[in-house]
Amino acid sequence: MANLFPRWTNELPLKAVVCVAALGGIVSGLVAYTATPKYTRVGYMPEQPIPFDHSLHAQQLGMDCRYCHSFVEQSAHSNLPADQVCWNCHGPGKVKPDSPKLQALREAMDESSDDYTGRPVAWVQIHETPDYAYFNHSAHVNRGVSCVECHGQVNEMKVVYHAKSLSMSFCLDCHRNSEKVLRPLDQITNLDWKAEDVDKDAFYAYLADKTGKGAEDLKKADSHKTFDRLLIGGHLKEAWNVHPPQDCTACHR
Ligand code: HEC
Ligand code: HEC
Ligand code: HEC
Ligand code: HEC
Ligand code: HEC
C-alpha cells in the first residue's frame, strides 16, 4: 500500500523528458495523462500507530496547525510534531496518560515503563511528491495559500486522508488561477475562513498601504462588485505581485 508509484518514476531521466516534451509539443497530452486517477493518491488513508484525531485537537480544542506543524512557514518541508509535543499533554498525571490508544507514545517516551523502547512514533506519510518534482511549503503559505487548498478540511478529519490529487495538473490549475484562492496571511490556518469574515475597511486600508493608492478610491472602484473571494484574491495577487511559475524547470529542477 505504501508505494503507489512504480519505482521507475523516480529513476526517470526527467530533465530529458521535460526537454523533449517541451520541444515536441506533447505537453497537453502529458498533462491530461498525469491527471488520470492512476497517478493520484486521493483517498489514501493509512492506519497510524496512534489514532490521532485532528477534528478533536485542531477543531474542538482549537489548536493551531502550527502548534504541531511548526516549520511550515519557514521551511520547504512541513514537519510532524516531535513526540515531546504530545507528551507535554499526555505524560504522567496529565490528559489520559494511560489510554490504550497512546501505547506507542509511552513506548517512545515513558522511561519508567516496561514497554519503553525509545523509538519515536512511526507515523506513516500520506502526502508525498515524487523526487523529481520540487515543492516548497513556505513559498505557498507565505503567499496566501491555505492548507485547505491542498489538504482539504483536515480540521474536520478524525483520520487524515489524501483529499486532493496533488497531480501536476492540480498544481498548474492553481498556478494559472491563483486569484481564486489567495487570502489574507493571518487566515492561512483557519480552514473555515470565508470572504464574509473579512472586515472591508481594514482590507482596503491594507491594500492602500501596499499599493500606495487611496483606500476610498479603491473601495469606490469596487462599489458595483460583489465583495467575494475572487475580488479579494484578485486584489491580493496584484498587491503582492504574485506570479506562480508555469515553466517546466520551476518544478523539475
Ligand atoms: C496536536 C498536534 C497537531 C495539530 C494541532 C495539527 N496536526 Fe496535522 N498531524 C499531526 C500528526 C501527529 C500527524 C501524523 C498522523 C496523522 O496523519 O494523523 C499529522 C498529519 C497531518 C497531515 C498529513 C501528513 C502526511 O503524512 O501527509 C496533514 C496534511 C496535516 N496534519 C495538516 C494539519 C492541519 C492543516 C492542521 C490545522 C488545521 C493540523 N494538521 C493540526 C499533528 C497535528
Ligand atoms: C494541548 C494539549 C494536547 C496536546 C499537545 C495533544 N493532545 Fe491529545 N488530547 C488532548 C485532550 C484534551 C484530549 C481529550 C481527552 C478526553 O477525551 O478527555 C486528547 C485526546 C487524545 C487521544 C484520545 C485518547 C483516548 O483514550 O480517548 C489521543 C489518542 C491523543 N489525544 C493523541 C495525541 C497525540 C498523538 C498528540 C501529539 C501529536 C497529542 N494528542 C497532543 C490534549 C492534547
Ligand atoms: C500548495 C499546496 C500545499 C499547501 C498550501 C500546503 N501543503 Fe502540505 N503538502 C503539500 C505537498 C505537495 C506535500 C508532499 C510534500 C513532500 O513530499 O515533500 C505536503 C505534505 C505535508 C505534510 C507531510 C510532511 C511529511 O513529511 O510527513 C504535512 C504535515 C503538511 N503538508 C502540512 C501542511 C500544513 C499544516 C499546511 C498549512 C499551513 C500545508 N501543509 C499547506 C502541499 C501543500
Ligand atoms: C492553490 C494554489 C496552488 C497550488 C495547488 C500549488 N501552487 Fe505552487 N504556487 C502558488 C502560489 C500563489 C505561488 C507563489 C507565486 C509567487 O510568489 O509569485 C506558488 C509558487 C510556486 C513555486 C515557486 C516558488 C518556489 O518554491 O520556488 C513552485 C516551484 C511551486 N509553486 C510548485 C508547486 C507544485 C509542485 C505544486 C503541486 C504539488 C503547487 N505548486 C501547487 C499556488 C499554488
Ligand atoms: C507547478 C509545478 C509543475 C510544473 C510547472 C510542471 N510540472 Fe511536471 N510534474 C509536477 C508534479 C508535482 C508532478 C508529479 C505528479 C504526481 O505526483 O503524480 C509532475 C510530473 C511530471 C512528469 C511525470 C509524469 C508521470 O507519468 O508520472 C512529467 C514527464 C512532467 N511532469 C513533465 C513536465 C513538463 C514537460 C512540464 C512543462 C510543460 C512540467 N512538467 C511542468 C509539477 C509540475
List, for residues 103-155, the tens digit of each pLDDT value.
Answer: 999 999 999 988 899 999 999 999 999 999 999 999 999 999 999 999 999 99
Q: 211-232: b or e for each residue (b if 16 or more CB lie within 10 Å)?
A: eeeebeebbeebeeeeeebbbb
Q: pLDDT per residue over 81-94, tens digit each?
A: 999 999 999 999 99
pLDDT at 2 > cutoff 50: no
Which class for 106: exposed (0-12), middle (13-18), buried (19 or more C-beta within 10 A)?
buried
Residue with cell 475580488: 231
pLDDT grade for 15, boundaries at 50, 70 and 90 = low
Report the distance separating Cα 190 and Cα 26, nearest Å: 40
Residue 50 near ligand 2, beta carbon < 6 Å: yes
CB 135 within 8 A of CB 76: yes
Interval between CA 110 and ligand 2 midpoint (Å): 16
C-alpha cell at 20: 523533449
Report the distance separating Cα 1 and Cα 189, nearest Å: 30
Residue 81 CA: which ligand 2 atom is closest? Answer: 38
Phi, psi of 79 (to 5 degrees): -75, 160
Residue 159 near ligand 2, beta carbon < 6 Å: no
pLDDT at 1 > cutoff 50: no
CB 72 within 8 A of CB 65: yes
Residue nearest atom 22 of ligand 3, based on CA coordinates: 78
Interval between CA 78 and ligand 3 midpoint (Å): 6
CB 185 within 8 A of CB 142: yes
Residue nearest atom 41 of ligand 1, based on CA coordinates: 65
Residue 191 near ligand 3, beta carbon < 6 Å: no
pLDDT at 23 > cutoff 60: no
For a pLDDT cut of 90, what percent of the chain falls above it?
Answer: 82
The ligand minimizing its distance to the Cα of 129 is 3
Closest CA to 41 of 124, 123, 126, 122: 126
Interval between CA 97 and ligand 1 midpoint (Å): 21
Q: pLDDT per residue over 155-206, tens digit each?
A: 999 999 999 999 999 999 999 999 999 999 999 999 999 999 999 999 999 9
CB 172 within 8 A of CB 31: yes
Q: 115-140: b or e for each residue (b if 16 or more CB lie within 10 Å)?
A: eeeeebbeeeeeeeeeebeebebeeb
C-alpha cell at 113: 515503563
pLDDT value at residue 21? 52
Mean pLDDT, range 38-42, rounded to an integer: 69
Give the chain's mean pLDDT: 89
Mean pLDDT, range 218-244, rounded to an integer: 97
Interval between CA 157 and ligand 4 midpoint (Å): 25
pLDDT value at residue 25? 43
Report the distance separating Cα 80 and Cα 123, nearest Å: 9
Residue 166 near ligand 1, beta carbon < 6 Å: no
pLDDT value at residue 41? 87
CB 11 within 8 A of CB 55: no
